[in-house]
């Protein structure tokens, strides 16, 4: 028997890996006497490895993940040349901007990148709800607008995080900014969850539940008439 995956766990795992682990690694390395630049560089390794592994495991290269990795590598290389840890911190903001712009462009093109996370969250691995989602995507303009709005909210949130990180990288002490960067990330994600939940997730869940219930009632009526 295969166990169903929890969409909430799937959504929070990348945050734990990309934010919590590098933060803990940085302060552990600093406590061990490693330089600020080396600690920043080494604490960035795990998220980069995870990006590459995800691409290899899926046997295809996610273009957005590849772009994020390229920005990370480019930022590390540039920081190595300049020896400036502030530049490395600002690089994290560049990653957020790349992801945010990618999400916004995908929404404008009618193929929102956030749908891959949104659909399992709303359908909760229910075949009936997944079928209801597909029907709504095919014939309900309001549902599609909500789907696009979800990506717009998250793209805008990541661009906001970018600005905050870059400003902080050059105005706040490095050791303080390493921890504050995680705080900024958590606050931005929390705000995006609340806003996107009110504007997109909640209304979409109601539409999916209504469509699934209507289809179930229709199937029951058809069976009874046979």
Q: What is the 3-state secondary structure (H, E, C) of 155-210?
A: HHHHHHHHHHHHHHHHHCCHHHHHHHHHHHHHHHHHHHHHHHHHHHHHHHHHHHHH
Res 58: pLDDT: 56
Q: What is the pLDDT of residue 222?
A: 61
Residues 6+ apart with CB under 8 A from 114: 103, 150, 151, 154
* One pLDDT digit (tens) per residue for the chain, 226 residues: 444 455 545 555 555 555 566 667 776 877 788 777 677 777 767 666 766 676 566 555 555 555 556 666 666 666 666 667 787 778 777 777 877 888 899 899 988 888 877 888 899 889 999 999 999 999 899 999 999 999 999 999 989 988 998 999 999 998 888 888 878 888 888 899 899 999 999 999 999 999 999 887 766 666 666 5
* pTM of the model as a whole: 0.72
Residue 104: what pLDDT? Answer: 93
Of 91, 87, 102, 112, nearest to 200 by C-alpha is 112
Residue 145 has a pLDDT of 95
Question: Residue ranges per domain, the chain?
Answer: 8-217
Token reading at 226: 């046979």
**pLDDT at position 2, please?**
44
In this prediction, residue 220 carries a pLDDT of: 63
Rounded Cα distance, 107 and 95, in Å: 18
Structure confidence at residue 149 (pLDDT): 95
Direct distance between the N- and C-terminal alpha carbons of the chain, in angstroms, rounded to an integer: 34
The dihedrals phi and psi of 9, each to the nearest 5 degrees, come to: -65, -45
Cβ atoms of 172 and 121 within 8 Å: the answer is no
127-139 and 115-123 are packed helices; what angle lies between their axes, rounded to 10 degrees? 130
């Amino acid at each position: 028997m295969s166990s169903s995956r929890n969409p909430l766990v799937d959504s929070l795992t990348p945050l734990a890996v990309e934010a919590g682990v590098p933060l803990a690694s940085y302060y552990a390395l600093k406590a061990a006497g490693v330089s600020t630049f080396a600690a920043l560089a080494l604490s960035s390794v795990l998220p980069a490895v995870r990006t590459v592994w995800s691409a290899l495991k899926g046997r295809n290269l996610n273009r957005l993940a590849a772009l994020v990795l390229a920005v990370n590598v480019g930022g590390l290389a540039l920081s190595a040349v300049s020896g400036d840890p502030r530049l490395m911190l600002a690089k994290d903001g560049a990653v957020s901007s790349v992801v945010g712009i990618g999400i916004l462009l995908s929404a404008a093109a009618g193929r929102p990148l956030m749908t891959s996370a949104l659909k399992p969250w709303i359908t909760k691995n229910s075949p009936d709800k997944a079928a209801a989602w597909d029907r709504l995507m095919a014939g309900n303009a309001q549902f599609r607008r909500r789907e696009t709005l979800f990506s717009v909210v998250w793209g805008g949130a990541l661009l906001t995080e970018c600005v905050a990180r870059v400003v902080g990288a050059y105005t706040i002490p490095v050791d303080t900014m390493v921890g504050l960067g995680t705080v900024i990330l958590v606050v931005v994600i929390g705000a995006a969850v609340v806003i996107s939940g009110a504007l997109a997730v909640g209304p979409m869940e109601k539409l999916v539940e209504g469509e699934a219930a209507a289809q179930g009632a229709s199937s029951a009526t058809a069976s009874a008439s046979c």
